[in-house]
Structure formats: C-alpha cells, structure tokens
C-alpha cells in the first residue's frame, strides 16, 4: 500500500465527520462526539501526535500512551459533564499540541512513567474541554462514546502512518511533528 493510498483512505474516512464537527447534530450526541475531536485543529493535531509519538516508542509505551490518553480523556470528559473547569483550559490544550508536536519532531523517548504522566495531563485538558461542550439535549454517554471512538481512531491513524511508512519517509513524520509544534505555538500566542 502506498503512502498516497493511505492518506487518501484516511481523508475519505475523516471527511464525512467534518460535516458534524460542531456540537448539536442529532439528538443523541454520538455524531457530535465523533465530530468534536476532528472539528478543531487543536484537538486533531494532538490526537494524531499521540499516535505518531506512540509509534516512535518501543515496548509498552506503544500502547500505554494512547490508552492513557483515551482513559484520562474520558475521565476529564466526565469531570467536564459535571461542570468542572480547569484554569487556562485553552492554553493547556495549545500547550499539548506544542509539546506533543515537539516530542514527535525530536522522536523523544522519555522514561515510560514521565511519558504517561505528560500524556495524562494533556488528555485531562482535552477531556474536560470535550465534556464542557456537551451539546444540549444530548446523551452524555453517546457523546462520550463518540469522542472516545474518534480519538482512538485518530491515534490509530497517527500510529499507522509511522509504522507503515517506508523507512526513507521517516523524516516526514518528524517534519509533521515540527509543523504541529509550530501550530501549538501559534495557538498559545493567539
């Protein structure tokens, strides 16, 4: 399978969800939950970066980072449903885009405990943001299922890109991480 086919397939899979990127579509919240992680550049870049970064790791970190992100994000979503607001929520999300982008660009392999803690902190910010944006009249359960499935899919896309790219294309992943870090810096400045 060529890189063009992989990217075209990913674009086709994600394109329909872009139409549902804003909360409020449907009355069960599932479509809003699916659309939320792909509807904002900050969430999209962070979710993809987690997959890219996990694929650059070795051993347990390959699955621990995405699982930590999804689990902690879900916890944050529940806290957001309850109305918890984190200070500097948007700055925390932007910082996650910057830090995860840098981790990918530099192919950082920190000790597992440090990587899991950083991933969990970033996921908490994203989860609370998802939870606070629960559309009116939506089922929190359906909405949470949607944002968990979309997040896991984005992690899988990032992971697959790294794992299935030819070795010669590996520098492109680092360039993508650098571009994500620049976007995070831009989001922080804005």
- pLDDT at residue 84, as a whole number: 94
Q: What is the pLDDT of residue 167?
A: 81
* Per-residue pLDDT at 181: 97
Dist CA 108 CA 20 (whole Å)? 34
pLDDT reported for residue 170: 85
Task: Give residue 18's pLDDT.
Answer: 42
Structure tokens belonging to residue 182: 């620049």
Amino acid 42: pLDDT? 95
Question: Which among 56, 45, 43 has a CA at the least distance from the CA of 148?
Answer: 43
Residue indicated by tokens 């879900």: 74
pTM for this model (two decimals): 0.84
In this prediction, residue 8 carries a pLDDT of: 53
DSSP-assigned letters across all residues of the chain:
--HHHHHHHHHHHHHHHHTT-STTSSSSSHHHHHHHHHHSHHHHHHHHHHHHHHHHS-TTHHHHHHHHHHHHHHHHHHHHHTT---TTHHHHHHHHHHHHHHHHHTT----HHHHHHHHHHHHHHHHHHHHHTPPTT--HHHHHHHHHHHHHHHHHHHHHHHHHS-GGGHHHHHHHHHHHHHHHHHHHH-
Residues of the chain predicted below pLDDT 70: 1-27
* Residues 37 and 44 sit within 8 Å (Cβ to Cβ): yes
Compute the distance between CA of residue 5 and CA of residue 23 in angstroms, rounded to an integer. 31
C-alpha–C-alpha distance, residues 143 and 25, integer Å: 11
Residue 9's pLDDT is what?
55
């Amino acid at each position: 399978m060529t890189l063009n086919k992989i990217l075209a397939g990913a674009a086709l899979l994600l394109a329909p969800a872009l139409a549902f990127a804003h909360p409020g579509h449907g009355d069960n919240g599932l479509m809003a939950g699916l659309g939320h992680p792909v509807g904002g550049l900050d969430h999209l870049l962070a979710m993809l970066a987690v997959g890219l970064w996990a694929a650059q790791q070795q051993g347990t970190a390959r699955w621990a980072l995405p699982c930590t992100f999804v689990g902690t994000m879900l916890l944050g979503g529940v806290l957001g449903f309850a109305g918890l607001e984190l200070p500097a929520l948007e700055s925390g999300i932007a910082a996650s885009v910057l830090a995860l982008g840098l981790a990918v660009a530099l192919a950082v392999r920190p000790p597992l405990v440090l990587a899991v803690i950083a991933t969990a902190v970033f996921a908490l910010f994203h989860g609370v943001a998802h939870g606070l944006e629960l559309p009116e009249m939506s089922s929190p359960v359906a909405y949470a299922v949607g944002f968990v499935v979309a997040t896991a899919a984005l992690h899988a896309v990032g992971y697959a890109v790294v794992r299935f790219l030819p070795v010669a294309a590996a520098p492109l992943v680092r360039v993508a991480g650098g571009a994500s870090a620049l976007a995070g810096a831009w989001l922080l400045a804005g």
